Chains A and B, each alone.
Chain A
């Protein structure tokens, strides 16, 4: 008997039992209105989380101990793998990633059950029932369809090792971030679903769900940035986003979440968009589950799809069930979802936010449509037709520019109604700055319309946002009376005063910077290919690249056999300015399948990016070199975006949250 396999499998089954109990207890508590049943259900959710934690801990132990009697361990790990790579092995493959996903969901639902539900005056029992159902659905897959605790049919002295693509430090963070972000969408789904069933269609559910929506959104955003960074530094094709179906799957839930963060404000302020907001939460969860299905079904050919398995149809069923249940609930509650008022004026912030939502969802539909195009075409005329990256760039590109422009409009527009004089006064400066920037750039030689439009949109965002900070900081200084705060002090004081608003502005600045970095590195990318022997040079982009002699070094761990490096010195006007070490990595168990080692030197103005395509016995190497202008700003903008998101998410110290109904002891039942 295999101890770890038995412990792990039993823990999963126990967690499944606890989840089923939670679901049943929740439903019974709703029917009988008995508080003790609800409390028992909440405890069962916590118990489920504890046992899923035990299961994932068991799998981690098996990986660390090189227990190759577990089929999963033998297929993704090997004895010479370093401990941190074994952490990556934990979620690197189908069964492990499903367990990881389920673990994150269980822990977050347990936090909900422990901290939020006991204080919730409405729908707590419904939320317990929903938590139990969601957890059961995932645990069934882990227990019966893709268990990481299956015992190997053979005895292995050593495992196969991690797939070479995954042997990289970037793998330590981006997959868990993405999985956690996707899994966390279950919590807003549970809250919104409960509110719909109970009939609390006012904004009470929004106040409970907002921190969870922000959490999902920050984590999923970080996962996407880190994923792009991994693609850039490891995959070795010179770019950072290829509109691959799996990349699309990770991006898709982020779009309704972003829309929701904006449209929730409209419901709170104006009592509009009620059904829309429910729809966005449900869509985010359905898209997250769809992503799980998409990468596991072989539905669309992708760089990083998992092996096809029976989990695919199961998750497709779950997506269908989620959509059907959501649509049914919303149809049932339609009478309660009427807006409380009309727009006072179309020149208002709420209108801008509605258009922002429209554009975000349009982008989501374009990306979803492109991803599923082969499936639709096969259904309609029997041939699988795919659409390439140009499709996404041509359609989503302009929509993204519109979206960035809307940031400016939304920041400047007042709620309800803007008097013409106010609008002129507020728009005058940013429009002037933007037009001036556009003219200057066009004169300086920026003639690409896409580049020009992106830059102008980004300049406008930065202009109005900096102005908002300045106005706010002036207010803080004035409010401190005699003891006038310093400007930096006032600036940081803003984040204390209204962290959601000023954190959100920081995210907007991050988006503008990302847009510039993405545009410059795509439109103005330079690329060359050369064949160079030892000591030979080639000229590119005003620089001289010299092959200093190919060498080979032995691998030490992680299944690496050896690495072949083509050192390139980079000089300008006879002076060496840089040194790149692109190469190729060869693996013990994957012979003939080398991995690129990217030679990268990043500066604030441009990245030098090189990779090796081949070499011969005479030491002549084929290399490709890229100059990617301003690419580092993509990551800098991403970091600013995440910091802004974290500021908005951080627990508020301001007393304004006391009115939060979830924390009030007693409130009227709807």
Chain B
């Protein structure tokens, strides 16, 4: 047996190094299949060939664009900070709490065309910025 492996500690370290390589390989292959690009609507509009890739887009739900079927929202528009709009179709999947006009949402799904995403999930990014509600000043 070679000198390095004479110590039991070094043999254990060797085994754990091999395990590390295996875990890293597993992590890389798993990451590949669950990647999605996080962009704003403005950045999405700049993409040359968005169709067929997975995207996560963060934006604010535009008031008056929510289309409901049987009381459940299935399609809505979101807008970025510069006002770039895109259409989100969301036929199934859970509607998150606090979803509604002006809510900031992060949608994830496949691009179906320029400015259109078929979302597989919608989450709300909750903010605690002051004064988004309507408290009434007394003075």
Which residues of A approach B to under 8 Å, CB–CB?
Answer: 71, 74-76, 92-94, 154-161, 163-165, 235-238, 301-307, 339, 342-346, 351, 354-355, 358, 362, 366, 369-370, 373-374, 383-391, 394-395, 398-399, 529, 531, 589-596, 611, 613-616, 620-622, 624
A157 and B136 contact, CB distance less than 8 A: yes
In the bound complex, residues from chain A placing their C-beta under 8 Å from that of B26 are 394-395, 398
Find residues 103-120 in chain B having any chain A CB closer than 8 Å to their own CB. Answer: 103, 106, 108
**A613 close to B30 (CB less than 8 A):** no
Distance from A409 Cβ to chain B, minimum over Cβ atoms (Å): 14
B12 touches A307 (CB 8 A): no
Q: Kindly state the separation between the CA atoms of A75 and B133 in the bound complex, as whole angstroms.
A: 9
Q: Which B residues touch A302, using CB under 8 A?
A: 125
Q: Is B123 an interface residue (CB 8 A)?
A: yes
Q: How far is the CA of A345 from the CA of B70 in the complex (A)?
A: 67
Which of B97, B131, B134, B137 is A236 in contact with, Cβ under 8 Å? Answer: B97
The residue from B31, B133, B134, B135 contacting A373, defined by CB atoms under 8 A apart: B31
Contact B125 A385 (CB under 8 A): no
CA distance A389 to B34 in the complex (A): 8
B98 and A590 contacting across the interface, CB-CB below 8 Å: yes
CA distance A592 to B58 in the complex (A): 19
Q: What are 23 A-B pairs at a CB distance below 8 A?
A: A92-B128, A164-B98, A301-B125, A303-B124, A305-B125, A307-B129, A343-B12, A351-B12, A383-B39, A386-B38, A391-B27, A391-B33, A391-B34, A394-B26, A394-B30, A395-B23, A589-B135, A590-B98, A613-B72, A613-B95, A615-B71, A621-B71, A622-B70
How many whole Å from A163's CB to the nearest CB in chain B?
Answer: 6
* Residues of B that sit less than 8 Å from A by CB: 7-9, 11-12, 16, 19-20, 23, 26-27, 30-31, 33-39, 56, 58, 68, 70-73, 92, 94-103, 106, 108, 123-139
Is the CB–CB distance between B123 and A303 below 8 Å? Answer: yes
Neighbouring A residues of B39 by C-beta, 8 Å: 383-384
Q: With the chains together, A383 CA to B130 CA distance in Å? A: 30
Please indicate the chain B residues that have their CB under 8 angstroms from the CB of A76 in the complex. 128
Nearest CB of chain B from residue A451's CB, rounded to whole Å: 19
**Which residues of chain B are near A615, meaning CB under 8 Å?**
70-71
Q: Across the interface, which residues of A come within 8 angstroms of B72, CB to CB? A: 613-614, 622
B30 x A391 contact (CB < 8 A):
yes
**Once the chains bind, are A342 and B71 in contact (CB under 8 Å)?**
no
Bound complex: CA of A190 vs CA of B34, how far in Å? 40
A624 touches B131 (CB 8 A): no
Quick one: which of B31, B37, B94, B139 contacts A238, CB cutoff 8 A? B94
Q: Is the CB of A235 within 8 A of B97?
A: yes
Q: Is the CB of A303 within 8 A of B8?
A: no
Task: Determine if A342 and B7 form an interchain contact, defined as CB atoms under 8 angstroms apart.
Answer: yes
Given A342-B7, A385-B35, A161:B133 Cβ within 8 A = yes
Whether B130 contacts A595 by the Cβ 8 Å rule is: no
Given the complex, which residues of B lie within 8 Å of A391, measured CB to CB?
27, 30-31, 33-34
Give the chain A neighbours of B131 by CB distance below 8 A. Answer: 75, 160
Known: A161-B133, A615-B71. A390 touches B38 (CB 8 A): no
Contacts of A159 in B (CB 8 A): 135
Q: Are A342 and B130 in contact (CB under 8 A)?
A: no
**Bound complex: CA A159 to CA B138 (Å):** 12
Is B16's CB under 8 angstroms from A358's CB?
Answer: yes
**Residue among A358, A390, A529, A591 making CB contact with B34, cutoff 8 Å:** A390
What are the 10 closest A-B residue pairs judged by CB atoms, nearest first? A614-B71, A614-B72, A592-B100, A384-B38, A589-B133, A394-B30, A160-B133, A593-B100, A343-B8, A615-B71
Given A160-B131, A366-B23, CB of A624 within 8 Å of CB of B33:
no
Give Cα distance in the complex from A111 to B33, angstroms.
49
Report how far A163 CA is from B97 CA in the complex, Å: 11
Q: Is the CB of B134 within 8 A of A390?
A: no
Q: With A93-B128, A385-B38 known to touch, is A156 a contact of B31 (CB < 8 Å)?
A: no
